[in-house]
Amino acid sequence: MERDEERGVNAEQIAAAARSLVGGATEVGRTIAVAESLTGGLVAAAITAVPGASAVFRGSVTAYATDAKASVLGVDAALLAREGAVDAEVARQMATGVRRLFGAEVGLATTGVAGPTEQDGKPVGLVYVACSFADFAPVAVELRLDGDRETIRAETVLRTLALGLSTFGH
């Protein structure tokens, strides 16, 4: 688990992280797809704002509703019923599902509680970001973020981009 120690992620930090991710993917010839829940498309928007992203970005799914995670991304419905949408294994399955759906080498995913209230007994600020890479087991990182809804979502975008970049050895 990682705890948010810094406040105030800004648009330039996100843009720089997205440029690094697109550059890293281009450098190693890998493609990316994104599945988002609490970020509602913000990760995909950051990536596609980078000139040249079309060379590496395959597509995205915003699966905000729990049932969409199962029907669109293939997340195990029994897992969702048992654990809820905010869970490390759900994040891993989202990342794997979107990678397969778009035929990408790397799948990234976000799920969590941005607030203002808890969800299914999970506290505001509990977030999982995940990465699925074709040749390795998917990984999920648990984050405990502080701040309002906008701050939690922005920090999640930044952490997701950083996780994706780390798969390219950066």
Task: Give the CA radius of gyration of the chain.
Answer: 15
* pLDDT tens string 60-118: 999 999 999 999 999 999 999 999 999 999 999 999 999 999 999 999 999 999 999 99
Predicted local distance difference test score (pLDDT) of residue 47: 98
Query: What's the CATH fold of domain 2-166?
Result: Maf protein (3.90.950)
Predicted local distance difference test score (pLDDT) of residue 23: 97
What value does the mean pLDDT of the chain take? 94
* pLDDT more than 70, % of the chain: 95
> Is the predicted pLDDT of residue 18 greater than 70, yes or no?
yes
| Consecutive H or E run containing 35 | strand 32-36
pTM of the model: 0.94
